[in-house]
Copies of this chain bind each other. A is one copy, B any other.
Amino acid sequence: MNNGELLAAFKEKAVQIDAVMEADLAVVESPLLAEIIRHAIFQGGKRIRPLLTLLAASLVGNPPADTPRLAISFEYLHAASLLHDDVIDHATLRRGAETANTIWGMEPVILAGDYLHAHAMALASEVGGSTAMALIGRATAAMVESEFMQMHNARESLIAEEKYFQVLMGKTAALIAAACEAGIAHNQGSNEQRIALRTYGTNLGLAFQIVDDLLDYLGDPAKTGKAVGNDFQEGKMTLPLIKTLEKAEAKDRDVLIGLLKATSQERSRQIATAHAIIEKYQGFSLARTQAESLLAEAIAGLAIFGEAKAKDSLIGLAQYVLSRDK
């Protein structure tokens, strides 16, 4: 399959995943609660996590009929964490639309996140038993721990690459890895197969986030739905900047550090300056190379599976992550 065919296949799967969520969410009683949850889930989103669970399960044979219900629990967990993140960050826009907290205020949105979170875990337990729950328990703990690490890091103006990856492990990679591993486990995969998918998911998650960081500087706002240099304006240390600070001469380094300590208005005015310095030290291409090598590692781990259609899809998904423009 070429890239276009693969994306079309993913899109078709995403429609099926949406239908499973639609049916499952009929249990929600309060109209307002249902509305907030629907907004959180059906307002965009690529369904990467449930897709990974389904593909992973298919790697080791025909998946059990209830696999899609296990798969959607990962989309729910992702959506629940975004609901709370947006409350915490006072975010007003996500995926080009108003955030739930902007529309309904923080009170019902915190509760809706709690509902979705509990519902996801109950569903994962029902379908995937204690194995799925152990995976999810570890991933959700890692997600919160990484947010605390990030809060702690925010007090430091310079963050080493190691800390950046530690945060990413919890923030993005842990849940993606759990979604992959849960699919294998649900279809009775071996321990070796589980480890391979956990590694694949971890590396994919890390690369995904690095590409996000790159798109923030280099993406087309019309496609990403975000202003260029948004992360820099907020003073976020992402990989292109970290790579640059590791290599830059004192003079350029001082300019960047000065901007990181300045106001966000000042950073907003100086995005082109930052961009030029990162470019000068190849911060963008170094970050991209790291994403590429993470994805190569992700794909290499799939070698144990021999020929399988799902394997091609997982490889294609990894390649899509690198080539995506939004």
Contact = CB atoms under 8 A, between A and B. Distances in A.
Interface in A101-119: 106-108, 110-115, 117-119
A111 B83 CA distance: 12
Given A30-B148, A144-B115, A152-B30, A122 B110 contact: no
A58 interface: no
Q: Is the interface of A mostly helix, strand, loop or mixed?
A: helix
A30 B149 contact: yes
A122 B136 contact: yes
Contacts of A149: 30
A130 to B, nearest CB: 6
B137 A121 contact: yes
Contacts of A144: 33, 111-112, 114-115, 118
Contacts of A194: none
A137 B122 contact: yes
A138 B118 CA distance: 9
A42 B121 CA distance: 26
Given A33-B144, A145-B30, A121 B133 contact: yes
A8 to B, nearest CB: 36
Interface residues of A, number: 43
Contact of A108 (B32, B117, B122, B148): B148
A133 B125 contact: yes
B88 A111 contact: yes
From A110, A118, A151, residue with most partner B Cβ within 10 Å = A118
Nearest to A144: B115
A135 to B, nearest CB: 9
Contacts of A106: 87-88, 106
Contact of A121 (B108, B110, B118, B145): B118
A122 B134 contact: yes
30 contacts: A27-B141, A30-B148, A32-B151, A33-B145, A81-B114, A84-B114, A87-B110, A88-B107, A110-B110, A111-B147, A111-B148, A113-B114, A114-B117, A117-B117, A118-B121, A118-B140, A119-B137, A121-B121, A121-B125, A121-B133, A121-B137, A122-B133, A122-B137, A122-B138, A123-B137, A125-B134, A126-B130, A126-B133, A126-B134, A129-B129
